[in-house]
A and B are shown apart, each in its own frame.
Chain A
Amino acid sequence: GAGVSQSPSNKVTEKGKDVELRCDPISGHTALYWYRQSLGQGLEFLIYFQGNSAPDKSGLPSDRFSAERTGGSVSTLTIQRTQQEDSAVYLCASSKGEQPQHFGDGTRLSIL
C-alpha cells in the first residue's frame, strides 16, 4: 500500500485478555517503530526494529508487552493480560534510513 497500515483501528477488550496489534509498513522501509500515546500526551517510544539487527526493546513498559517483525516487514505488538492503564492509541511508523518516519493511523485500544 501507499502508507503504513495498522489494524484493527479500534479494539475494545476486557481486562486480563491478550491483544495483538498489527502494523504493515511501507514497502522497502527498513526501520519500524511502535509508540504509545495516551490521551493528550506525547509519543512514548516502545520498540524499534532496524533491518536484521536485534530490536531495541528499551521502551517496553513491562514483560507483558512484546513485539516481533516477520521477514523484515509486518510487525505485531502483543499485550498479554491487559490492564486498564494499557488503554491508549498505539502508533506504528516506518522509515528508510534517516528519512522521515511515516505514521499509521494507529490502533485505539480500550480496556474495560
Chain B
Amino acid sequence: QQPVQSPQAVILREGEDAVINCSSSKALYSVHWYRQKHGEAPVFLMILLKGGEQKGHDKISASFNEKKQQSSLYLTASQLSYSGTYFCGTGDSWGKLQFGAGTQVVVTP
C-alpha cells in the first residue's frame, strides 16, 4: 500500500519553513526521503530506521514515529535549491519500498 503524503503542494518564500508528512497504514521498518527536480532522477536525502530518530541534512531534517506509522520532513529556512518534488518511501521487512505520490515544493525569491 502506497503511503499518503501531505500536502500535495506547497509554495514558500525563500527563508520560510515547511513540513511534509508521510503516513502509512502498515508497520514501517524504514522511511526514505528523496527529492526530484524536473527532468532528473530522484536524489536520496535521508533514511530513517526504526527507533524514532531524527536525522538532518543541511537545513532539512526528518522524524520517524513508528508508533504512529508516520514520518515528517522539515524544510527550515528554505532556499531556492529546495524546489522540487519530495517523495517518501516506506520500507517493509524485506527492504521493498513503496513511494508516496509526492509533494511539490516551490520556493520563490
Q: Which residues of A contact B (CB under 8 A)?
A: 31, 33, 35, 41-43, 45, 48, 50, 56, 91, 95, 97-106
Contact = CB atoms under 8 A, between A and B. Distances in A.
Q: Tell me if B's interface is mostly helix, strand, loop or mixed.
A: strand
A45 B99 contact: yes
A100 B47 CA distance: 7
B105 to A, nearest CB: 14
Contacts of B41: 91, 103-106
Contacts of A48: 96
Interface residues of B, number: 24
A61 to B, nearest CB: 14
Given A100-B32, A100-B47, A106-B41, A33 B87 contact: no
Given A42-B102, A45-B99, A101-B97, 14 more contacts: A42-B87, A42-B99, A42-B100, A43-B89, A43-B99, A50-B95, A50-B96, A56-B96, A95-B95, A98-B30, A100-B47, A103-B42, A103-B43, A105-B40
Contacts of A99: 47
B95 A98 contact: yes
B106 interface: no
